[in-house]
């Protein structure tokens, strides 16, 4: 009986295309802007890396299978704000949103660096 080895290949994304960037001055402003989504019953999870807090709305790979197969991910919108230190929750008034530290993800690090470079734009 011979066992055949399975090839495992790591192929990171080659390109991320962001259609809209929405900048906020503070994490609290970001939470206020997203609060209506939470009130509609949709969970919101903020992510943090490279002193940036953000939430993205990716276009599902199933909606763009050819692009995803080429290593491209399309994101409809990213809302972001500077946040120098990681905290588990961002609170604004009576609204609190959880934050997850994604700083170990090379992809998230690159995305956060890109967002940081956009802070002075507009």
Q: What is the pTM of this model?
A: 0.86
Q: Mean pLDDT across the stretch 57-85?
A: 96
Q: Is residue 110 part of a domain?
A: yes
Q: Which residues pair with 82 in a beta bridge?
A: 52
Retrieve residue 101's tokens: 């530290």
Q: Is residue 50 part of a domain?
A: yes
Q: Is residue 56 part of a domain?
A: yes
Q: Distance (Å, rounded) from C-alpha 22 to C-alpha 77?
A: 7
Find the domain containing 34 and state its range.
15-117
Q: Give the count of domains, the chain.
A: 1
Q: Is residue 58 part of a domain?
A: yes
pLDDT tens for each residue of 5-54: 999 999 999 999 999 999 999 999 999 999 888 777 788 899 999 999 99
């Amino acid at each position: 009986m011979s066992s055949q080895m399975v090839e495992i290949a790591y192929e990171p994304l080659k390109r991320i295309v962001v259609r809209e960037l929405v900048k906020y001055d503070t994490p609290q402003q970001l939470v206020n802007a997203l609060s209506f989504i939470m009130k509609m019953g949709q969970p919101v999870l903020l992510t943090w890396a490279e002193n940036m807090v953000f939430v993205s709305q990716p276009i599902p790979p199933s909606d763009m299978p050819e692009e995803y197969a080429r290593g491209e991910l399309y994101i409809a919108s990213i809302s972001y704000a500077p946040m120098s230190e990681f905290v588990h929750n961002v609170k604004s008034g009576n609204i609190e949103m959880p934050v997850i530290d994604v700083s170990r993800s090379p992809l998230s690090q690159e995305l956060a660096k890109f967002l940081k470079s956009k802070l002075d734009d507009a």
